[in-house]
């Protein structure tokens, strides 16, 4: 499979932006300045980016509590995201949502979600909009291995099939729901579940951008062509705790180190693209440093940004009331 240079560069930039964003949040959280719960997507970047590479702005995604990566991959404003996480009025949600509720409907981003399994039903609706409004769009639900057991998710697989919706169910399987292993919590297999709800099943290694890109391409094309929904099962590893503050005693001491060493989507991407002469190391270096600068600026801007005002408390509960 040939991938155009600009897509490669864009994808690398997105993955690097997510990585930098998350690593920086990890450091910043430790200072105590970031309020609330923060769930990092580090190590899973290729999934969001490989999937979203096939989506246009009018396609729709729904995300999870671990949503920063999906937001960035779908094009949500990074500075606005950072400000949101800091609870500033310049945040994409004016500081009223925080990390778990970043959304940008204008960019087809239907929201991170504090409710496990909250997204899949919404995505059935977004897919229905695409179908009835004939936008040629698809709607993509990202959800975790833990969420793959929620009734809302399972019902949505069935509903999407019954309505033959242009929906893509991306099960991001990082092996854990909080501190519980998927091997404990998920009986059977995702593959059989896909069959159980009458949809094609795709799977791939989520640390390999090229594998995700290719498999997601097929899966999304199927849904977009009107043949009904699909499931894409992405195998991943999360590099930090469930949320910031989690000591991760339930994981073998070298599990994360191993993943960082052997399953780093960014270094794999670099090795492959430079090795094959698709991209030059220098271009990637340029991206790395541009991203670093951008995130630094985003953090500084967020810290300096104004807080919400009293009137924001009562605002936007309703369109009219």
Ligand X SMILES: Cc1ncc(C[n+]2csc(CCOP(=O)(O)OP(=O)(O)O)c2C)c(N)n1
Q: Which residue ranges make up the site for ligand X (CB under 6 A)?
A: 64-66, 114-116, 144-147, 174, 176-178, 242
- Residue numbers 299-318 binding a second copy by CB under 8 A: none
Q: Of these, 1, 32, 249, 282, which contacts other proteins (CB under 8 A)?
A: 249
Minimum CB distance to other proteins, residue 57 (Å)? 13
- In degrees, rounded to 5, the angle at the alpha carbon of residue 160 between the alpha carbons of residues 154 and 161 is 95
Minimum CB distance to a second copy, residue 260 (Å)? 30
Q: Of these, 33, 57, 178, 192, which contacts a second copy (CB under 8 A)?
A: 192
- Residue numbers 197-216 binding a second copy by CB under 8 A: 197-199
Minimum CB distance to other proteins, residue 170 (Å)? 16
Q: Of these, 68, 107, 131, 193, which contacts a second copy (CB under 8 A)?
A: 193
Q: Of these, 40, 71, 81, 100, which contacts other proteins (CB under 8 A)?
A: 100
Q: Of these, 151, 277, 310, 320, which contacts a second copy (CB under 8 A)?
A: 151
Minimum CB distance to a second copy, residue 226 (Å)? 16
Task: Label the pairing between strands 60-62 and 139-144.
Answer: parallel
Of 94 and 131, nearer to a second copy (C-beta) is 131
- Residue numbers 116-145 binding other proteins by CB under 8 A: 116-118, 120-126, 128-130, 132-133, 139
What, of ligand X, a second copy, other proteins, none, does residue 66 touch, CB below 5 to 8 Å by kind? ligand X
- In degrees, rounded to 5, the angle at the alpha carbon of residue 266 between the alpha carbons of residues 262 and 268 is 50
- Residue numbers 191-230 binding other proteins by CB under 8 A: none
Nearest CA-CA partner of 300 in 33, 99, 16: 33
Sign of the torsion angle spanned by Cα atoms 141, 143, 147, 149: positive
- Residue numbers 108-167 binding Mg ion by CB under 5 A: 144-146
- Each residue 144-173 as x (binds other proteins by CB under 8 A) or -, in order, gives --xx-xxxx--xx-xx--xx----------
Q: Of these, 30, 115, 179, 195, which contacts a second copy (CB under 8 A)?
A: 195
174 lies in the site for other proteins, by CB under 8 A:
no
Minimum CB distance to other proteins, residue 46 (Å)? 22
CB atoms near residue 245 (< 10 Å): 11
247/296 Cα distance (integer angstroms): 27
Nearest CA-CA partner of 59 in 8, 125, 130, 124: 130
Rg of the chain over Cα atoms, rounded to whole angstroms, equals: 19
93 lies in the site for other proteins, by CB under 8 A:
yes
Question: Site residues (CB under 5 A) for Mg ion?
Answer: 144-146, 174, 176-177
Question: Site residues (CB under 8 A) for a second copy?
Answer: 149-152, 154-155, 157-158, 161-162, 184-190, 192-199
């Amino acid at each position: 499979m040939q991938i155009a240079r600009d897509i490669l560069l864009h994808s690398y930039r997105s993955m690097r932006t997510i990585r930098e964003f998350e690593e920086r949040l990890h450091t910043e959280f430790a200072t105590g300045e970031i309020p609330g719960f923060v769930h990092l997507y580090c190590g899973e970047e290729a999934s969001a980016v490989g999937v979203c590479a096939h989506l246009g702005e009018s396609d729709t995604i729904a995300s999870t509590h671990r949503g920063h990566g999906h937001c960035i991959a779908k094009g949500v404003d990074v500075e606005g995201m950072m400000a949101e996480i800091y609870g500033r009025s310049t945040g994409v949600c004016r500081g009223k949502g925080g990390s778990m509720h970043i959304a940008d409907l204008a960019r087809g981003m239907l929201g991170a979600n504090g409710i496990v399994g909250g997204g899949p039903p919404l995505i059935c609706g977004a897919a229905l909009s695409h179908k009835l409004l004939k936008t040629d769009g698809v709607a993509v639900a990202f959800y975790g291995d833990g969420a793959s057991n929620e009734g809302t998710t399972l019902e949505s697989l069935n509903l999407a099939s019954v309505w033959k919706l242009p929906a893509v169910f991306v099960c991001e399987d990082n092996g854990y729901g909080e501190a519980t292993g998927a091997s404990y919590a998920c009986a059977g297999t995702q593959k059989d579940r896909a069959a159980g709800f009458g949809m094609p099943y795709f799977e791939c290694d989520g640390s390999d951008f090229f594998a995700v890109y290719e498999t997601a391409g097929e899966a999304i094309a199927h849904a977009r062509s009107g043949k009904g929904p699909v499931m894409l099962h992405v195998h991943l590893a999360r590099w930090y705790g469930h949320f910031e503050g989690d000591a991760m005693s339930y994981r073998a001491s070298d599990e994360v180190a191993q993943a960082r060493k052997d399953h780093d989507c960014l270094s794999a991407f670099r090795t492959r693209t430079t090795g094959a002469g698709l991209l030059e190391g220098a271009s990637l270096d340029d991206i790395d440093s541009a991203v670093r600068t951008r995130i630094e600026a985003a953090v500084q801007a967020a810290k300096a940004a104004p807080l919400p005002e009293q009137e924001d408390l009562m605002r936007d509960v309703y369109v009219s009331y």
